[in-house]
C-alpha cells in the first residue's frame, strides 16, 4: 500500500506541473519604448545657441536669420 500511495503522489505532482503551464502562464512579449526627453529653453538661450551655431559655421547666415525670426515670433517678440 505504501508503494501505491507513492505512485499516487507522483501522478498528482506530474498532473499539477503539466496543468500549471496551460492556463496563460506562458511568456509575455513586452514592448519597450524609448524615453522621451523634453528640453525647455528660454528664447534667449535658443538665440544664444543659434548665434554659436552660426559663428561655428554649422548654419548659414540665411538659416540663422530664418531660425532667429521663428524663435522671436514664437516668443511673441517683434
Residue with the larger pLDDT of the pair 74 and 62: 62
User: CB neighbours (10 Å) of residue 50?
Assistant: 19
Global pTM reads 0.48
Full 3-state SS string of 8-27: HHHHHHHHHHHHHCCCCCCC
pLDDT of residue 25: 56
Residue 56 banded pLDDT, cuts 50, 70, 90:
very high
Say how far apart CA 1 and CA 9 lie, in whole Å: 13
Say if CB 55 and CB 24 are below 8 A apart: no
Amino acid at each position: 500500500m505504501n508503494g501505491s500511495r507513492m505512485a499516487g503522489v507522483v501522478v498528482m505532482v506530474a498532473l499539477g506541473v503539466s496543468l500549471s503551464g496551460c492556463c496563460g502562464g506562458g511568456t509575455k512579449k513586452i514592448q519597450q519604448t524609448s524615453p522621451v526627453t523634453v528640453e525647455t529653453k528660454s528664447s534667449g538661450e535658443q538665440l544664444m545657441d543659434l548665434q554659436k551655431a552660426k559663428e561655428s559655421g554649422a548654419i548659414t547666415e540665411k538659416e540663422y536669420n530664418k531660425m532667429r525670426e521663428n524663435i522671436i515670433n514664437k516668443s511673441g517678440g517683434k
